[in-house]
Structure 1
Amino acid sequence: MSKYYLFQDTKKCIGCHACEVQCKANKNLPVGPRLCQIIQIGPKMIGGLPRAAYIFMPCFHCENPWCVAACPTGAMQQRSSDGIVFVDQNLCVGCKTCISACPWGAPQWNPETGKVVKCDYCMDRVDQGLEPACVTTCTSHCLKFGKVEDMTQIRRERHAQSVASLEHSAF
């Protein structure tokens, strides 16, 4: 299991795609591969107004990643120290087996290199004590990155605040 978790507060996300743009710039990616994606849900009418929700979809760094198991060359790897799943570009032969194996569509094809790329939580930045590029540029501050136990606490606090505000508004 990954030691890290990337949490999105969907109530704060405005769907600006700054995270996607920063990710592509940080990884020097061409048009095509998107290592994180904002998926728009809606719009639908809520309270007489059109509303949309935006879901952030990075790699989930699965405990037992299918992409790693499917890779015939060992290019798709999982770090034992923290569970981050990444592609060793020197070993990737571009067979796309990992792309087929991932149910979430995390591995992406890079047409410029003829190899697979995927979200690796910007592990070079994480190793320096920094946050992933997508988190640093989030304009609405809806993305949070950290250790699983810390992100669990943030989610609990957020839920408690929403329940408290609902109960308060009922009075």
Structure 2
Amino acid sequence: MAFNIDSYNNLDFDAKTQVFLKDLEEYLSKETDIIANLANTSAFISAFFENVNWSGFYLLKENQLVLGPFCGMPATTRIAIGKGVCGTAFEKNEILVVDNVCEFPGHIACDVRSKSEVVIPLVKDGKKYGVLDIDSGVYSRFSKEDVEILKKVLEILYKYTDLENLK
């Protein structure tokens, strides 16, 4: 299956969202490999969301978050639980939307262009596996609507990806 970014052209936001989620599900449903599905999920997020300069995963390994598949510039490879936006979201098990990363205590800067960030813990059946991390070069980039779409993205990912095999 070849991805066609032009399929998103000339669609209103709701229609574009539906095509995006349908395409993502079609891709993930044909693959069982965790790394492949995480990589394609990162790529789909980067293709769908405007003004995003980094999207990817940090995965729980040896009691720290370790860089997983992503789209963007090189990134910090290991994050301690409770440190930075990713480590804090993971520790608190809550979604964090940061409108200005420079104002977040202990923010870990990977790409100096990043101004805002959203981090969603990866939690399936009550077990934490890591986080989805998305950065933007625009302040206050991430809305509640974006978070709801990203939750749907993770529902699709969980449906087709056995996160237990990360260990």
> Which of 1 and 2 has higher RCO (CA within 8 Å, sep 6+)?
1
Q: Going by fraction, where is helix more abundant, 1 or 2?
A: 2
TM over 0.5, shorter chain: no
User: Whose radius of gyration is greater, 1 or 2?
Assistant: 1
TM-score by length of 1: 0.33
